[in-house]
Structures are given as C-alpha cells and as structure tokens.
C-alpha cells in the first residue's frame, strides 16, 4: 500500500498563478496548515488566507498568511 499522507490529489485544478485558500478543521500546532501553505507556494499558487473551524492556538497568521477562525479556544485560569 502506498502512503498518501501529505499528498495532493491530482483530481483538482492547476493552482499556478491562482489565489488559494487553505482550509482545515482545527489548528493545534499549526504544522499542517504551514505545510499546506508551503505546498501551495511550491506549486506556484498564492495562499491568501487560512480558514479554520477551531483555533486552539490563537494565531493571527501562519508563514505570513492570515488565519480566520470560527471558534477560538481560550484557556481559562492557567498561568502562562
């Protein structure tokens, strides 16, 4: 079996010279979205924004790309 983790499907349109939005369900560490931003750039696309349902980290941008979230998780009662 071929490991397809971290790969792009070839069923999608070419992204070279196009504005792209990176979408995910949750940001915890930001690694997955940062890797996706890098992959978009490597394929000639322009990542203009990240959209996420739940932001567990409270980030405003990743690798220079703004992050917009529906829900931002805040930790209450913990010392930083």
Question: In angstroms, rounded to a whole number, what is the distance separating the alpha carbons of residues 9 and 12?
Answer: 6
Question: In angstroms, rounded to a whole number, what is the distance separating the alpha carbons of residues 53 and 68?
Answer: 8
Q: What is the pLDDT along the chain (80 residues), one digit of tens a residue?
A: 676 666 666 667 889 999 999 999 999 999 999 999 999 999 999 999 999 999 998 889 999 999 999 999 887 776 65
Instruction: Find, among 61, 7, 48, 50, the residue nearest to 26 by Cα.
Output: 50
Query: Residue 6's pLDDT is what?
Result: 61
Query: Residue 71's pLDDT is what?
Result: 94
Q: What does pTM read for this prediction?
A: 0.79
**CB-CB contact of 67 with 55 (8 Å):** yes
Query: Residue 44's pLDDT is what?
Result: 96
Q: What is the spatial order of strands in the sheet that 46-55 belongs to?
A: 19-27, 46-55, 65-72, 61-62
């Amino acid at each position: 079996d071929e490991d397809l983790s971290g790969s792009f499907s070839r069923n999608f349109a070419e992204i070279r010279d196009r504005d792209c939005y990176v979408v995910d369900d949750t940001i915890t560490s930001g690694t997955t979205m940062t890797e996706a931003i890098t992959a978009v750039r490597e394929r000639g696309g322009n990542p203009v924004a990240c959209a996420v349902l739940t932001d567990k980290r409270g980030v405003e941008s990743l690798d220079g790309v703004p992050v917009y979230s529906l829900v931002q998780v805040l930790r209450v009662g913990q010392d930083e």
